[in-house]
Amino acid sequence: MTQSQQLKQHPLIKNGWFKEVNEEHFPGQGFALQVEEVLHTSRSQFQDILVFKSVSYGVVLVLDGIIQCTERDEFAYQEMIAHVPLYLHNEPKRVLVVGGGDGGVIREVVKHQCVERATLVEIDKTVIELSKKYLPEMSVAFHHNKVEVVLCDGFQYLQEMAVKQEDQKYDVIITDSSDPDGPAEAFFQEGYFQLLRGALKDNGILIAQASENVWLDLKYLTQLVHTAKTVFPNTKYCYTMVPTYTSGQLGLIVCSKDESLDLTVPTRQPTPEEQDQIRYYNSSIHSAAFVLPTWANKLINK
């Protein structure tokens, strides 16, 4: 048996197919990708990590059995979670990314010419190292002169930010956390939104991946939006289309301290240089992403 054949014995890979099944969050359904080669498998201090090359989606990063990104469609997620808040802000200079150790979000952040500093807070150094090795197009910004990487717990970092002066806080905060299982569950609670509010400037914008979408668990999603609104009255839900996320859609929650700001309409437009580097996001899709089906809109935006 070859090394590749041996690696295919990974518990999540059977008969050459990786299968993502999570009965707690995605009951009664699953997602599968055909595996060409397993590149890496290990257990870091915080999570199980699998990296493989798929037949049709390129290199795939899997954490605790859940697909985080693939080479083919990652930009649909990275661009929306980064550019929606950044183009809502008049002049974002200081940006904080919590999570996102694959580097995709900060790659998008530094495309904005007005950004002066992008701080990435990631707890798992192994994810960063593996992304640099196996996902070079996503991790390219780790060496950018505007990027600062802080290896620590996101909660700890935000707690320290709470006592900072206004000019040391952030114009935009992007929460690119894992799904709400185990330790990551705290990233979806009211206390976390309070910490985020404390780290934002008065005109700051926040975006957080919502894990769920209207097809998976509308009740949970409605509760999550309500939780965010207890801290940020100006809160909206939008989404992006990503084929390799279960059901092909991923929700995003956008918040602002400014209750008069229309979150559905970008304040700035991409410069020609910025637009040349963007494949998914544009001002029209920004607004369209907030338009929900009637039955979902009645619950989420009630």
pLDDT means over runs of 10, the chain (302 residues): 57 93 80 95 94 97 94 97 98 96 97 97 96 97 97 90 87 80 57 93 95 87 93 96 91 95 97 93 97 95 83
Distance between CA atoms of residues 135 and 132, nearest Å: 6
**Same domain for 170 and 232?**
yes
**Same domain for 184 and 292?**
yes
**Global pTM value:** 0.93
| Chosen domain end from 52, 70, 88 | 70
Residues 73, 102, 124, 176: which is the catalytic one? Answer: 176
Distance between CA atoms of residues 18 and 61, nearest Å: 12
| Chosen domain end from 45, 70, 95 | 70
Domain tally, the chain: 2
Domain range for 19: 3-70
**Same domain for 126 and 29?**
no
**176 an active-site residue?**
yes
**Same domain for 265 and 185?**
yes
| Chosen domain end from 43, 70, 97 | 70
Measure the CA dihedral 282/77/209/19, to 10°.
150
Q: What CATH number does the domain containing 120 carry? A: 3.40.50.150
Residues in the chain: 302
- What pLDDT is attached to residue 177? 73
- What pLDDT is attached to residue 33? 96
For 9-93, strand residue ranges (E) read 13-14, 17-21, 30-43, 48-54, 59-63, 66-70
Q: What CATH number does the domain containing 34 carry? A: 2.30.140.10
**Same domain for 290 and 255?**
yes
**Same domain for 97 and 227?**
yes
- Residues 216 and 245 sit within 8 Å (Cβ to Cβ): no
**Same domain for 24 and 157?**
no
**Same domain for 140 and 288?**
yes
**Same domain for 46 and 102?**
no
**Same domain for 66 and 84?**
no
**Same domain for 63 and 92?**
no
- What pLDDT is attached to residue 25? 72
**Same domain for 64 and 78?**
no
- What pLDDT is attached to residue 243? 95
